[in-house]
Amino acid sequence: MKFCGVLLVIIVTTHINVEAIPLSEGIPLDQSQTETSGLWTATLTLPDIYSPKPLLSASDSGFIYGLCHLATFSFGSFGGSDVWGYVDSFGNDYAIMGVDGGVQFVNATTLTVLNKITAPRFGICGGTQWRDMVNYGSYLYCVSECLGTNDGLMIIDLKFLPDSAHLIKTLPINPDGIRPSHNLAIDTNMGFLYIQGSFTENQAVYIHDLSDPENPTFVGQFGPGGGIHDLYVMNDTAYLAQGSTPLFSIWDVSNKSSATFISSVNVTTGGYVHNVWPSGDRRHVATTEETPFLSLKVWNMEDIDSIYLVGEYLAPSGLAHNVHFRGDTMIISHYESGIRIVEISTNPASPKQIASYDTWPISDNSGYSGAWGAWAFSPNGYAYASNGNGQLFIFQEMSGVVFDTLSGDTAFASPGDVARVDIYVHNYLPLRIINIPFSWAGPTGLVFDSASKAGLRTEYFEELDELSIDPFGKRAAYSLISSLAETSPDLDSGAGPVLSLYFSIPNGAPNTTNPITIVGVNGVVPGLYGKCFKTAPIIIAGAVTTCPGCGGCCNLPGDADNSGDITISDAIFILKYIFEDGEFPDCNDKADVSGSNSIDVGDATYIVKFIFQDGPDPVCGTTGL
């Protein structure tokens, strides 16, 4: 059995089957809780550890990415708007969502509801309570089209988290005392705040200096006639989505008192150009139109004077709301199609969806229910989606190279002995459940005795369940479970034995090899389960070889240091044993990998060739020790 560690990231080309775990939609009653405060009620539902949603997908490279649904919070049934994220100095993650009558804070790390800061909820915002927010360091800035308590630019202090967030003050968005605004952006590299303004030429955007974050200073305004709906600003370059005009434009705002127009693009489909966001390398920019059946569009802007459409994407609901880029990955709030994660690094002309979660399973129409906001920029892998009906969804992003193996070793034993065959797992993501069905055959007449996890990677697992046993058909199935109640940790990524199988060798058995095959038994298939995924691992069969005087100590030939794996440390162990009076092998036959009936330099060389030059597999020696 050969494990190549991180080298697999380079060489893996095999298709890996990764699928969702198709179990109940129900939420256990004891996993829901309700908190009430004033005008709002927060209800938390935790999904069963087996999610019914299709969470992970796999590419032919073996790389997987997915959203693991951790919890859903319900803040009433109305008023949900945008969502943002924040990480405090202790490493805690927070979801910040616009809800009915306020800005709600939730500790995503602990899945606990924190305080809500009252925000305006009446006036010109009508039947929807728009709220957009973005942070600059430990300060959160929020705007709304509504009027009432705390209207205008809200400045919220986040440095007292995880205890609570505190409103510092509210301010007009411009010197004329205007307070409503639909959207805002912060150029975090330059330290300036940009707020969507009026529909009058040169007043579409108001600029504020954040040198003193608690006291923003108005420094300028700019913008096209007809106004804008949404904006993004980075490194003194502003991207404006101009709504019903319909176009998007790009501006140089290095001179805050006199912005310079750079370029604009007519979106010829004639929808409402709702938002705009550039890719991380600024080679592409994406736009949404928030118009039924008009696609999200990806534009090539490598030549800023000749921007052209290169790709399009639209989920089944046919109505995309907002798009944000993280590198070459688009984070999309797609109304009734939920949150969608789409990448363009492979081919910008054909954006590829790599993950999704349906936050509105009720229907999939081109209506305005479902995901309003989506955010996935946490360094700790948290992602959030917000529904207009007041629901907040918290996810953990999961990604990695998956080339998992489930394999048996070859045991050597004499007639009349008991052979131990260890089943090994090499996993790249933490595992909660390991299903191992197997059969045994061969002319020796092996008798299966028992299974054990003692002394193995899974020794701490709470359960070892016998799912099926058929001694006459020579097959059985076991399941290893870390903890259904989540009181024990999942199995960390790594390699090593997880289950020992014991077989009795009849007296007088012939000298032969008897295969131990990992194969489906009575509906139980080989599988490695995480909290939100199942992988179908690559299977490698084991065997029991009988021979007089073999002994039974060699359960993994080549594992001279008894670490549970074959690595360069085994070759070093042999050399130290020979030349430096090093530690004796616990089983000579493990170190006699060449089968020469002695332990010498040739065995160390044999292991090195096996690991690095695709040499032959190690064998168990014949010393019987």
Asked whether the predicted pLDDT for residue 46 surpasses 80, the reply is no
Two domains, one topology: 62-401 and 405-552: no
In angstroms, the CA 132 to CA 365 distance is 25
> What is the rounded (10 degree) CA torsion for 193, 196, 201, 202?
0
Residue 591, classed as helix, strand or coil, is helix
Kindly report whether the global pTM for this prediction surpasses the value 0.85. Answer: no
Average pLDDT, integer, range 162-189: 97
80 by Cβ neighbours in 10 Å (0-12 / 13-18 / 19+) ranks as: buried
Average pLDDT, integer, range 394-403: 83
Rg (CA), the chain: 30
User: Residue 444 in contact with residue 539, Cβ under 8 Å?
Assistant: no
DSSP state letters, 250-304: EEE-SSTTS-EEEEEEE-TT---B-EEEE-TTSSEEEEE--STTPPEEEEE-SST
Q: Which pLDDT belongs to residue 550? A: 60
User: Residue 18 in contact with residue 402, Cβ under 8 Å?
Assistant: yes
Select from 2.130.10.10, 2.30.40.10, 3.30.300.30, 1.10.287.130 the CATH code of 62-401: 2.130.10.10
Helix (H) or strand (E) holding 155: strand 153-157
Q: Which pLDDT belongs to residue 182? A: 95
Average pLDDT, integer, range 223-241: 95
DSSP state letters, 506-524: PTT--S-EEEEEE--BTTB
Does the domain at 405-552 match CATH 2.60.40.680? Answer given as yes
Read off the pLDDT band of 485 (50, 70, 90): confident
Q: Which pLDDT belongs to residue 133? A: 98
Asked whether the predicted pLDDT for residue 579 surpasses 70, the reply is yes
Asked whether the predicted pLDDT for residue 451 surpasses 60, the reply is yes
In angstroms, the CA 264 to CA 501 distance is 69
Helix (H) or strand (E) holding 20: none
In angstroms, how far is CA 233 from the centroid of its own chain? 27
Going from N- to C-terminal start, the domains of the chain cover 62-401, 405-552, 556-625
CATH superfamily to which 556-625 belongs: Dockerin domain (1.10.1330.10)
Asked whether the predicted pLDDT for residue 54 surpasses 50, the reply is no
Helices 601-612, 568-579: crossing angle, 10 deg rounding: 170
pLDDT digits (tens, 9 = 90+) for 78-121: 999 999 999 999 999 999 999 999 999 999 999 999 999 999 99
Q: What percent of the chain has pLDDT over 70?
A: 88
Residue 176's contacts (CB-CB under 8 Å, 6 or more residues apart) are none
Residue scoring higher pLDDT (1 or 192): 192
Read off the pLDDT band of 423 (50, 70, 90): very high
Read off the pLDDT band of 192 (50, 70, 90): very high
SS3 content of the chain, % helix, strand, coil (to 5): 5, 45, 50
Closest to 279 (Cα-Cα) out of 320, 313, 232:
232
Residue 399's contacts (CB-CB under 8 Å, 6 or more residues apart) are 63, 64, 65, 66
Average pLDDT, integer, range 58-74: 76
Q: Which pLDDT belongs to residue 535? A: 81
295-311 burial code (b ≥16 CB/10 A, e <16): bbbbbbbeeeeebebbb
User: Phi and psi at residue 97, in whole multiples of 5°?
Assistant: -130, 140
Chain mean pLDDT for the chain:
87
